[in-house]
Amino acid sequence: MRIGIDARSVLKKRTGVGTYTYNLIQNLSRLDRENRYVLFYSHHLNVRPYIPEIENPNFENRFFRIPNKLLNLSWGTIKLPKIDWLVGKVDIYHSPNYNLNILARGKSVMTIHDLNFLAYRQFTISSGRWHYAFKIKNYAQKVDAIIADSFSTKNEIMKYLKIPEDKIHVIYLGCSQAFQPLAADEKLRTTEEKFKIKGNFILYVGTLEPRKNLKGLIQAYAQTQAKNEFLLVLAGGKGWKYEHIFRLVEKLKLQDRVIFTGYVPEDDLPGLYKRASLFVYPSYYEGFGLPPLEAMACGLPVIVSNSTSLPEVVGDAGVYVDPYDIRQMSATIDTVLSDSDLLETLRRRGPERAKLFSWEKTAIETLKLYQRLYGD
């Protein structure tokens, strides 16, 4: 079996889709010595040096000097160039994101991580909302199988895209073994020096955008007793409509209590998780929610929203809040930080819960899906 995978997202600053694609490829390369893989990359710059190394000889890289925006536009309009022209003849082609060009021959798989542009339209750019909504419905009907990150996302695919249930396969994301509960070490001290964080802090990790409800988190933090002892660290790159977050910090006069780190590379994340006292993730909407899982794996107590997929991932290893209730969120932060027994329970449950999710398991279940499609 020859399998093509769109690996373009691993060349960017990896967040959700890039992290998923990178770990899927790396674990498939460790597991599968029988099938052959073609990894498709494109960029307007020569980024060959940034393509991850894979030791498995069954994996081949195909790099094209094509701007991705131009390529995606061309696929969405004139349906050219055919993906077969770029990766050659493959039996299975997998798009880990919304950008897809159906094979002339063979089976196609796409991963739908979430449908926020349909389910929570107020949290997406209008131009992108209509663009993705049109494409996703078209692609979802044409592919042979869809992978969903969670049952929450699967239910939304059925509801908004009218896709039959048996075409959608839930395969959970995983958690890297780099995220473990370890004692303080040199790397932790380096992380502290790198981000200029001194003292205790509450942590959020993720893109700065409206869907993540950072406005609510900052307002809740401002009302806590904890703000006198704990800083609030917001770790993540700027998304869209992020300006209001910085304005709110200034309005509440929290400039000396709220720290923005900017985008944090994956290698530095474990250090932040292990240095923090509490992780708070009040997102309105998630297709899965990798940061809470990573935080739990490091033994960091977590507070998350009671919405969409987050209860599915966190289980009984975290504390839940209504993302629309600022007063409840504020009180919960103070309650958790002041309850030593609860903190200890969460530190113990988090790593145990995280063990249920691994990238190896993600790769095994994805490979089984490839094999099932190939055999049909």
User: What's residue 267's pLDDT?
Assistant: 87
Assess whether pLDDT exceeds 80 at residue 113. yes
The domain ranges of the chain are 2-174+358-375, 186-354
Residue 10: both structure tokens together? 């691993």
- pLDDT band of residue 56 (cuts 50, 70, 90) is very high
Residues 238/260, Cβ–Cβ less than 8 Å:
no
- Res. 91: pLDDT tops 80: yes
DSSP assignment of 241-254? S-HHHHHHHHHTT-
362-371 residue pLDDT tens: 999 999 999 9
Is the domain covering 2-174+358-375 a CATH 3.30.420.40 domain? no
Task: Give the sign of the dihedral formed by CA 51, CA 57, CA 63, CA 68.
Answer: negative
Residue 194: per-residue pLDDT = 82
Average pLDDT over residues 341-356: 97
Q: What is the pLDDT of residues 140-188, one digit of tens each?
A: 988 999 999 999 999 999 999 999 999 999 999 999 999 998 765 656 6
Least confident of 8-12, 65-69, 192-196, 338-342: 192-196
Cis status, amide bond into 311, omega within 30 of 0: no
> Looking at residues 51-72, what average pLDDT do you find?
90
Q: Is the pTM of this model over 0.85?
A: yes
**Under 8 Å between Cβ of 300 and 271:** no
**Are 2-174+358-375 and 186-354 in the same CATH fold?**
yes
Ranking 103-117, 141-155, 213-227, 281-295 by mean pLDDT, the lowest is 103-117
What are the C-alpha distances in Å from 209 to residues 7, 216, 241, 246, 325?
A: 25, 12, 6, 11, 19
The larger pLDDT score, comparing residue 80 to residue 104, is at 80
Q: What is the pLDDT of residue 79?
A: 77
Stretch among 76-90, 136-150, 339-353 having the lowest mean pLDDT: 76-90
Q: Does domain 186-354 have CATH number 3.40.50.2000?
A: yes
| Residue 255 backbone phi and psi in degrees, to 5 | -60, -30
Within 10 angstroms of residue 307's Cβ, the number of other Cβ atoms is 20
Confidence of residue 296 (pLDDT cuts 50, 70, 90): very high
Residue 200 Cα to chain centre, angstroms: 26
Tokens of 111: 């991963």
Q: Give pLDDT, residue 102.
A: 66
Task: Give the pLDDT mean for 250-271.
Answer: 93
Q: pLDDT at position 41, please?
A: 92
Per-residue model confidence as pLDDT tens digits over 11-35: 877 778 999 999 999 999 999 999 9
3-state secondary structure (DSSP) of residue 204: strand
